[in-house]
Structure 1
Amino acid sequence: MLSIISSFGPFVRQYIIVIIADLSLFTSGLGLAWTSPMLVKLADETNPVYETPITGTEASLIVSLAVIGSVTSNFLAAYLVDKLGRKKSILLSSIPRICCYLMHYLATAAWMNYVARILGGFSDGISYSIVPMYASEIASKEIRGALGTLFQIFSAFGILLMMTVGPFMDYYTLNMLCLVLCVVTVVPILFIPDSPYFLHKHGNKNEAIEVLTFLRPSESEVKEEILEYEMEEEVTDMTIKELCKTANLPILKVIAITVGIGVGSQITGFNALALFLQTILASTNSSVSPEIASVIIGVIQLVGSFFTASIIDRFGRKPILSTSIIGVTIGMIGLGTFFYKTSDGDVYGFWNYLPLISIILADFSFSSGVGCLMFPLMAELFDGRSRAIGMSFGVISCFTATFILTISFSSLVNAIGPAFTYWLFSINCVLYFVFILVFVPETKGKTFAEIQVLLGVRPAEQKKCEKEPFREIM
């Protein structure tokens, strides 16, 4: 396969390799949207999948238990990525995902879907930690932003497929389709190279140089990158034990920013919309079909992902993130206003379409900003030795917040009403917007070494890099 890829230019080679790695996120996208059509089928009283329809509590568990799997796998991902490598870890993540859809297919009771969702979440936790990390280490700095956001496009493809065919296929056929796709998409990953940083770190220096020569447009870029690797050669990978022992304040600061990015992305309430989409649309009692609306929203999410990939390396991370949050805020305000208005009775005309318009706005805004950027941005904020542990903290915080959000969403709506729930999310969006403006650094066009200097993590090594001439390394 690499011989075929070599016929293209270096930037195209990088795109092809990252796209192949991102196939694992396509199947994750299927899982993210799985609950939207499936909860409706599982709760159907006229044609239940099991002997009896699932209850509201069982539905909440099916939604939220995937997050438990994601959280538990993240520190394992930090271990695997530095022991086995990025490529082998991505391959390994496919095993629980395949088991997930096999168990969905064989399920005869709710508990079997609980286990399946935990397995799927376990796989997602590894993929969302490692694939953005792999992409950031494969990419040249000029296109690192675009390559980093491609994973969201593939996730959106998976979501769109589930939204499109899920409502119109029966439970067993749909799960078999997902199982086949999981098997098929893992095969090309066998043929891509591992991260050059990992190869160099583990003593395969000649192979690392070969991979970089294959990926980079010039010999000088290869030399510069190998020099950065060599300066990290005597530094061991960061562990939780070392982090607690040394109390490395600059790295703790970066971890705090990463946790803020992860938690903030969830308190906006977007995933409550995504995971309970058809249920929310059905509750609006509008004339718009929930099945058709879910397809429209899936298309919008995909378009948003493509949009960001095309502009990120032109406008930078912070402007896109902050604009994204403004859109989500307006969408949440619109949803709250709709439910407040309908508390007085039926609605007509424009009000009938307000929930769909609001969800589309929130969906496009989140998908074209926070959804695309948060994981690649987390990977950019750390140097090689702390990237695995740093990504684990970021992804765990994100998935933990997702779990709390999804498990409490129905109770929150019942306690304060849907209108005040969505208005609460809009207030959270404003707080997240302020956090991005004040604390999140701009990483556009910077090397990893330059980002570490900006964050105050390793200034001495950067000065050495600037003063020391290139050695003969090739």
Structure 2
Amino acid sequence: MYKLHFGPLLRQYFIVITVNLSVLVTGLGLAWPSPVFVKLRNSTETILPSPMTEEQGSWIVSIGFLTGLSQHLVAAYLVDRIGRKSCIIISCLPKILVGFLYIFASEVWMLLLGRAILGISDIYAFNTVPMYASEIASKEIRGALGTILQILCSIGVVLMMCIGPFVSYLHLNIIYTCFALIVTVPMLFLPDSPYFLYSRGKNQEALRVLTYLRGSESIASDELKEYSLCEKQTVAKRELFKNRTFLKSLFIVLVLSGGTQLVGFNSISFYLQTILESTHTSVQPELASVITGIIQLLSSLCTTLVTDKFGRKPILTTTLAAMVFGLMGLGIFFKLKETIAISGLLNFLPIASVILVVIGYSAGLGSLVWVLSAELFEDSSRGIGIGISSLFSSICVFLTTKYFAQLTSVIGSAETYWLFSFNSFLLCAFVLFYVPETKGKSFAEIQSVLRGKGKSETANFCRS
């Protein structure tokens, strides 16, 4: 292990923050329906021939999930074929097109087309940015740099929630398009992933990039030796699904990715207004959305500061425990509401519970699953592994958000939240007993742990 100097540290942070600006625009897009739908339903503000219907709104929200499903494995292929940087640029350019489409939109089909394109674009961002960040980062700060994705996405959501209600539809989409244009330009000047360059036989270019990132040619050379050693142990892609180490990594990441959706956070986010309307507090839904976004942002920032000090597992287990109690509190509130008149401090139980769930999710699963997804696969299988896990995650998020309302009507609101609480408990136990700690380990050392060999000869090569 070597001591990180300020110059290389600053360069790594700058590059990773820059590449995650693409995710900031994704955050803007994810929150876009909230302020825009209010305008589209208003007969005086809508840009449509008539106010938007609930059916049209549901399709505008969901079509991106459907189009995105088709791109996970394509992105997994392209990220190893044309490179991480090229895929990130591919994720940025359509957002500019969509911005102009929104500006000139006058029919529902134009909004649907824009959301469909964004769904595809976002898949390239979420599949590629965590991978790129993990391959740029030194192992000592890889966790912190990996959590920047959640921070920038949260900033995008908060910005849209703060700006959207107070400007016109046209001005809001001009602002969105300007963001998309501004963040795309610096992507063109970023270095490509040193591992990708090495995998394409561009050893000297990989050495140059690593020397720039690590601040030392000798450290960069050691890292290239680790790449070489890992490459000797690499399994051909057609043999991956016979390889026990890859299957173990894939199983862990699938459970984490699917579990991230099955704890119900997205359902709570999308139905936050319904939850608040069940209380007799004066908290406005618009204000609550902004506050929730700020809490997400601050929680993610805290994780960035501590993940490389305390490790992934302690943070995940602690935050999942918080989600267990928060979701249990929501269930208790709705069960009491069925039998007694809620008054006084009990009205604040769901608000406190939601805050606990938001903190737990944002500081834990929301930030660290991206980190672990990039860390647990070896270099050559990272693209396909992340592609499969993100496809599974998208299916889970579609099912949980699509059928949340039906589930609550069949088994009840209280029982639904208790089910999510139980899922959080199971996921907490899984992390505690099955997920390896990756803090401070090189990719080669992580693979050795997964193979059950502890630290191997690859430990001699410290990934800087």
1:103, 1:88 → 2: CA distance?
A: 23
The aligned counterpart of 1:359 is 354
SS of 1:141's partner is coil
In structure 2, the partner of 1:103 is: 101
1:350 corresponds to which letter in structure 2? L
- The question of 1:60 aligning with 2:55 is answered no
SS of aligned partner of 2:147: helix
**What's the CA shift string for 1:429-463, capped at 9, x where partnerless?**
11211221222111011011100000018x69x85
Pair 53,281 (structure 1): closer, same or farther in 2 beyond 3 Å: farther
Residues 35 and 282 (structure 1), Cα distance of their counterparts in 2 relative to 1, 3 Å cut: farther
1:408 to 1:56, Cα distance in 2 relative to 1, 3 A: farther
Q: Identity rate of aligned residues, in percent?
A: 45
The answer as to whether partners of 1:33 and 1:275 remain within 8 angstroms in 2 is: no
Paired with 2:274 and 2:29, the residues of 1 have a C-alpha distance of: 17
1:55-102 Cα distance to aligned partner (Å, 9 max, x none): 444443333322223322211211221121111110111122233333
Q: Which moved more, 1:174-183 or 1:129-138?
A: 174-183
8 Å contact kept, 1:26–1:155: yes
Calculate the TM-score normalised by the size of structure 2.
0.91
Aligned with residue 20 of structure 2, among 19, 22, 38: 22
1:116-136 alpha-carbon deviations (Å, 9 max, x no partner): 222212111111111111111
Q: 2:93 touches 2:184 (CA, 8 Å); kept in 1?
A: no
- The change in CA–CA distance for 1:428 and 1:109 in structure 2 (over 3 A counts) is farther
Deviates more, 1:181-190 or 1:44-53: 44-53
SS at match of 1:50: coil
Report deviation, 1:391: 0.8
Contact kept, 8 Å, 1:145 with 1:444, in 2: the verdict is yes
Listed as ranges, the matches of 1:350-429 within 5 Å are: 350-429=345-424
Partner residue in 2 for 1:3: none
Deviation at 1:315, TM superposition (A): 0.5
Indicate the RMSD between aligned Cα atoms, in angstroms: 2.6
SS in 2 for 1:187: helix
CA drift of 1:48 comes to 5.0
2:328 corresponds to 1:330:
no
Cα distance in 1 for partners of 2:198, 2:415 equals 53
1:463 & 1:364 partners in 2: Cα distance? Answer: 37
- Whole-Å separation in 2 of the counterparts to 1:338 and 1:466: 51
**Do the aligned partners of residues 422 and 50 (structure 1) sit closer, same or farther apart at CA in structure 2, a change above 3 Å counting?**
farther
Aligned CA distance change for structure 1 residues 58 and 330 (closer, same or farther; 3 Å): farther
2:430 is the alignment partner of 1:435: yes
Alignment partner of 1:315 is 2:313: no
The residue number in structure 2 matching 1:157 is 155
Deviations 1:200-255 (A, max 9, x none): 1112111111111111144442122110122245677853x4434xx222211211
Counterpart Cα distance in 2 of 1:52 and 1:345: 43
* Equivalent residue in structure 2 for 1:271, among 243, 266, 271: 266
The equivalent of 2:192 in structure 1 is: 194
Partner of 1:252: 247
Contact 1:35–1:276 under 8 Å retained in 2: no
Q: Is the 8 A contact 2:445 2:456 kept in 1?
A: no
Q: How many residues align?
A: 458
- The 3-state SS of whatever aligns with 2:140 is coil
d(CA) in 2 for partners of 1:127, 1:179:
17
Q: Quote the residue 1:262 is aligned against.
A: 257
Q: In 2 relative to 1, CA 26–76 (structure 1 residues): closer, same or farther, beyond 3 Å?
A: same
Q: What is the 5 A alignment of 1:36-55? A: 36-44=34-42, 48=46, 50-55=48-53
Residue matched to 1:347:
342
> Cα distance, 1:344 vs. partner?
4.9
Is the CA contact 2:24–2:152 (under 8 Å) kept in the aligned structure 1? Answer: yes
Tell me if structure 2 keeps the 8 A contact 1:297–1:360: yes
**In 1, Cα distance between the equivalents of 2:148 and 2:18?**
10
Instruction: Answer yes or no: is the 8 Å Cα contact 2:445–2:459 preserved in 1.
Output: no
TM-score (norm 1): 0.89
The Cα of 1:12 is off from its aligned counterpart by: 1.1
Distance 1:37 1:114 in 2: 16
CA distance 1:104–1:323, change in 2 (3 Å): farther
Distance (whole Å) between structure 2 residues aligned to residue 120 and residue 270 of structure 1:
22
- Distance (whole Å) between structure 1 residues aligned to residue 436 and residue 36 of structure 2: 40
Cα pair distance change 1:135/1:338, threshold 3 Å: same
For the 8 Å contact 2:16–2:133, the answer to whether it is kept is yes
Range 268-277 or range 436-445, more displaced: 268-277
Q: Secondary structure at the match of 1:140?
A: coil
In 2, Cα distance between the equivalents of 1:113 and 1:277?
24
**Alignment match, 1:4:** none
Q: Which runs of 5 or more residues in structure 1 are unaligned?
A: 1-6
- Asked whether the equivalents of residues 250 and 456 of structure 1 are also in contact (C-alpha less than 8 Å), the reply is yes
Distance 1:424 1:38, change over 3 A: farther
User: Amino acid of the residue matched to residue 340 of structure 1?
Assistant: K
Q: How far apart, CA to CA, are the structure 2 residues paired with 1:197 and 1:19?
A: 19
